[in-house]
Structure 1
Amino acid sequence: MKKSIVLLFFFLVFYSKAQEKAKIEKVNVSRIENILASDDMEGRAIFTPGIAKASAFIENEFKNIGLSFYKDLQSYRQEFDVKGKSANNVVAVLVGQTKPDEYVIFSAHYDHLGLKEGGKDRIYNGANDDASGTTAVIALANYFKEKNQNQRTIIFVAFTGEEIGGLGSNFFSKSIDAKKVVAMFNIEMIGTESKWGKKSAYITGFEKSDFGLILQRNLLNSNFKFYPDPYPKEQLFYRSDNARLAALGVPAHTISTSKMDIEPNYHKVSDEVGTLDLDNMTEIIEAIALSSQSIINGEDSPSRVTR
């Protein structure tokens, strides 16, 4: 009896320590964000050396985390052709423990606008749009890998070509069986405070499935709030990379904080890391991790999107 109690004690201590290491660390969030939005990336426009550097950085992050390749790919690069030009998404996988054929996607776009033709500051750094979302995807990949409890398979995707029509997400959507995708968390511009202030974000297409209700329920005991998209006239649900899979019925929604009516640095060269609230951004990523748990663990399956 005593031996059993001792073994149970050591198991609980080990389990507790394993859970403690799975955290979203601000220092890591800041490191990733600053690299992706650095001048060295030259604005990350598709088909440029800058976006190639960004892709290589994301690939290396996924490698260091220890993620698997997507489907039959031989690397983290999902390459495709656009009118004779080469482009690529960056995709990685964390296989589910009991439901490997059910997928949950965390995504963001890593491309931006590149270089301005003239002026003292020519670089569209895209710190908020969407280095912030890509940072979140990498941080979440690290978190879920360390936690090592996902029952469903998690796919982490950094899309290219969002700024010129969602090219990357369109290609990716054709490579996956949409019926197996349980949910998609697309993350877009989370570096600034929402209209409600800190510890809050909104979900596009809130009324199109019960995805948002599940996330809200999972955050009931926290001080963070998810709200429905307050900018319906902007049609944000159809303007980001979630739209391609949503069109196939997937409960694919975008999480954002961007104040689309008054965001001062949107698509401007002034969208730099110094304009972001990295403390709040870290809390948003933590909230996404917490709110997704019942979906990741196979307990909840959001209703499908109907057109």
Structure 2
Amino acid sequence: MHRYFILLLLAKQTAYCQHIDKIINAKEVERIERILSADDMGGRKIYTPGIDKAAAFIADEFKKAGLQPVAGKSYLQEFAMLRINPVQAGGTLNGKPLEERNIAAITAKEELSINQGSGYTMKVVQAKDTLGSIVSRLQRTGGDHLLMVDTIHRAMFERLKRGGRSQFTPKGNIVLVMANEEAGEYSIQVKQTVNAMPLKNVVGVLPGKSKKEEYVIFSGHYDHLGIGRANAAGDSIYNGANDDAAGITAVIMLANYFAKKKDNERTLIFAAFTAEESGGFGSTYFSQQYNPDQVMAMFNIEMIGTESKWGTNSAFITGYEKSDMGKILEKNLANTAFRFYPDPYPTQQLFYRSDNATLARLGVPAHTISTSKMDSEKYYHTQEDEIETLDMNNMAAIIRAIAISSTTIVAGKDTPTRVTSESLKR
């Protein structure tokens, strides 16, 4: 009887391996990778036709996989960044004129005029306070605020005042005045130019069965550097085959795999982020759409097209020590030839340099999986980052390993520990 059970278990494992190989294999890796890194994508730079073409392709792949759209009938999670340049500012404070250099505003309005009757909440930012943290908190919560800022914060004040920045559309209006006094009577006017620049993530959803309100995210970024100065070979296109068409290839294939398995207890979200190369705007916006307490884990996948420092059948996990997610993945891979390792490049702070960082700072066990040899990656951010430099068989093995290693998390049997504020300091 015991021998029969072992044979039955081996038969099931063999059938499982055959099933996953039919969906996640080198041929399918190459098909997707070749389309995303082709010259006609123009390097997938934001605000270009190439990135729109890439977004349409990814959305179509999500649709074919059977994922649900994130917004009505659309797989596009659309938002805008604002490029703002101050034009003029002035006013009075407690009967005295205000210098233009002492007025700043965070607003989407081209013209803003306020006084003590405008209903703004006043807050005094003292020398002991952290101006940047206060502004970030008010931007998250929204509302209209007047900040009276101690002159010790001049450097940060200038950064906030400076034009030409890209920023999300504010939820309210924040006016900052540099003065070591509270505002009694005041009248402040601001003029600026505001240009909205549209961006879009591509997001598909596979609803869970018994734990629909618990989310597991598989993600990567689909933007790259576009077209630049030609190299010695005359190539001007930064194709980004490894960075990060490889990660998006993995996301698409995992979407296909789990959609065909149809046994995920938790809801799975597959996300292709825009604007990672420009400041992580896509993943930042995405993170604002979800309650972080409901996100059980995030598998962010970046640059898996080349062998890791340990060779094939291996990859590393950034921020390995900040949660026990890595240990769970290792447990699920125990009977395979694949190994996950802690990040071997801690001085490069990779945990904070990819699209996992925003949710990780909110406590989510959000980690990036990669094989990139960051101390010697020959084609990183060059025109030579093309499909011919990638190992399709090893990529397929990595993607299969991610699928297998996530099994108990997707099933709701394992929940990684949260990332704590203390661990973020380490």
The two structures share one fold, judged by TM-score above 0.5: yes
Q: How does 1:285-300 map to 2 (within 5 A)?
A: 285-300=399-414
CA–CA separation in structure 2 for the residues paired with 1:297 and 1:40: 39
CA–CA separation in structure 2 for the residues paired with 1:51 and 1:201: 28
Amino acid at match of 1:168: G
The residue matched to 2:267 in structure 1 has which SS? strand
Q: How far off its partner does 1:110 sit?
A: 0.1
Mean Cα displacement is larger for which, 266-275 or 117-126?
Answer: 117-126
The residue matched to 2:50 in structure 1 has which SS? helix
Q: How many residues align?
A: 293
Query: Which structure 1 residue ranges, 5 or more long, are not aligned?
Result: 1-11
- The one-character-per-residue Cα deviations of 1:246-274 (angstroms, maximum 9, x if unpaired) are 01100000000000000000000000000
- The one-character-per-residue Cα deviations of 1:193-239 (angstroms, maximum 9, x if unpaired) are 00000000000000000000100111110000000000000000000
| Aligned match of 2:33 | 33
| Aligned match of 2:225 | 113
Question: Does residue 261 of structure 2 align to residue 147 of structure 1?
Answer: yes
Paired residues of 2:25 and 2:393 also in contact (CA < 8 A): no
Question: Does residue 197 of structure 2 align to residue 85 of structure 1?
Answer: yes
Q: How does 1:175-194 map to 2 (within 5 A)?
A: 175-194=289-308
CA–CA separation in structure 2 for the residues paired with 1:189 and 1:117: 23
Amino acid at match of 1:55: A
Q: How far off its partner does 1:66 sit?
A: 1.0
CA–CA separation in structure 1 for the residues paired with 2:311 and 2:347: 21
CA–CA separation in structure 2 for the residues paired with 1:54 and 1:235: 29
| Aligned match of 2:58 | 58
| Aligned match of 1:233 | 347
Q: How far off its partner does 1:26 sit?
A: 1.8
CA–CA separation in structure 2 for the residues paired with 1:185 and 1:74: 25
Query: Which structure 2 residue ranges, 5 or more long, are not aligned?
Result: 1-10, 83-195, 422-426
The residue matched to 1:222 in structure 2 has which SS? coil
CA–CA separation in structure 2 for the residues paired with 1:25 and 1:195: 23
Q: How far off its partner does 1:118 sit?
A: 3.6
| TM-score (normalizing by structure 2) | 0.67
Q: How far off its partner does 1:25 sit?
A: 2.2
Question: Does residue 215 of structure 2 align to residue 103 of structure 1?
Answer: yes
1:131 to 240, 245, 261: 245
Amino acid at match of 2:266: R
CA–CA separation in structure 2 for the residues paired with 1:188 and 1:205: 14
The residue matched to 1:227 in structure 2 has which SS? strand
| Aligned match of 2:168 | none
Larger helix share, 1 or 2: 1
CA–CA separation in structure 1 for the residues paired with 2:23 and 2:68: 21
CA–CA separation in structure 1 for the residues paired with 2:397 and 2:382: 25
The residue matched to 1:153 in structure 2 has which SS? strand
CA–CA separation in structure 1 for the residues paired with 2:253 and 2:26: 10
Of structures 1 and 2, the larger Rg is shown by 2
CA–CA separation in structure 2 for the residues paired with 1:242 and 1:20: 30
| Aligned match of 1:5 | none
CA–CA separation in structure 2 for the residues paired with 1:165 and 1:277: 29
Q: How does 1:169-248 map to 2 (within 5 A)?
A: 169-248=283-362
CA–CA separation in structure 2 for the residues paired with 1:280 and 1:106: 19
Amino acid at match of 2:320: F
CA–CA separation in structure 2 for the residues paired with 1:36 and 1:299: 35
Amino acid at match of 2:36: L
Larger strand share, 1 or 2: 2
Q: How far off its partner does 1:299 sit?
A: 0.4
Question: Does residue 74 of structure 2 align to residue 75 of structure 1?
Answer: yes
CA–CA separation in structure 2 for the residues paired with 1:25 and 1:227: 23
Q: CA RMSD in A?
A: 1.6
CA–CA separation in structure 1 for the residues paired with 2:378 and 2:45: 21
The residue matched to 1:163 in structure 2 has which SS? coil
CA–CA separation in structure 2 for the residues paired with 1:23 and 1:254: 23
CA–CA separation in structure 2 for the residues paired with 1:118 and 1:192: 24
CA–CA separation in structure 2 for the residues paired with 1:290 and 1:174: 29
Q: How far off its partner does 1:137 sit?
A: 0.1
Amino acid at match of 2:66: G
CA–CA separation in structure 2 for the residues paired with 1:36 and 1:107: 15
Q: How far off its partner does 1:27 sit?
A: 1.3
Amino acid at match of 2:79: F
CA–CA separation in structure 2 for the residues paired with 1:298 and 1:243: 23
The residue matched to 1:106 in structure 2 has which SS? strand
Q: How far off its partner does 1:189 sit?
A: 0.1
Q: How far off its partner does 1:82 sit?
A: 1.2
Amino acid at match of 2:28: N
CA–CA separation in structure 2 for the residues paired with 1:81 and 1:87: 6
Q: How far off its partner does 1:28 sit?
A: 1.1
CA–CA separation in structure 2 for the residues paired with 1:293 and 1:65: 19
Quote the sequence identity (%).
61
| Aligned match of 1:4 | none
